[in-house]
Structure 1
Amino acid sequence: MQFIVNIDVQDINKAISFYEKGLGLQLIRRLFGDTVAEMGGGPAPIYLIEQPDTNTAVPGTYIQRHYPRHWTPVHLDVLVENIDLAVSQAVSAGAALEGEIKPFAWGKACDNERSVR
């Protein structure tokens, strides 16, 4: 079985930079007039799709995208060997840490199931 992950982003160039620097992925190719970027290096290809926040989020409605936090129709949990290092890399690439890293019985995670955005 093969699958891909699609993530709407506000600015394709900033998103490519973040996923390269923050998560260690590599740009494979750009598509559709440079509004889509295929990223590799994980268990599945990730397609970053530029969608301005002026576009509606749901066809046929007036609901608009809102990117200031982490609006996206896709949710990803990123499993890493060293969460401290991973969070540090993501923050240095421009992410904001919304909660502290805390230990749980199954490992460490960001506080209250909040993420790095």
Structure 2
Amino acid sequence: MTSTRRDLVLDLTGSWFEDSWVPVAISGVLPVIATLFVTFGQALEDRGDWAWILGGSVLLLVVVGIQVASHQLRKRLRGQELSEVDRLRVAMKDALQRVAELIAAMPSKGKSGQVP
């Protein structure tokens, strides 16, 4: 997947993964259902059993995909937050630079409290 396509997918799914309890619920319920599917097909006697095994495997792959997408989204959001912090730090430093120069240029008071 190209980076622009991947970014588009993350943008579209970002708010859904970030603000929703659905991925958490799906990631908790689907493995249980997949385990049941594999349990139903454990005899491996006919094609139906293999279908249960295949269905359980597909569900597990869906869970893995949801987890990977969620991790990538969190990683990208964390990177954006860190870049925002860095920009804010530079802006504050630039804004306070002039104030620091003015403070440095102020005449100092002696111990008596008067300007020398």
TM-score category, normalised to shorter length: under 0.3
Higher helix share: 2
Larger proportion of strand: 1
Higher relative contact order, structure no. (Cα contacts within 8 Å, ≥ 6 residues apart): 1
Normalised to the residue count of structure 1, the TM-score between the two structures is 0.21
What is the TM-score of this pair, normalised by structure 2? Answer: 0.21
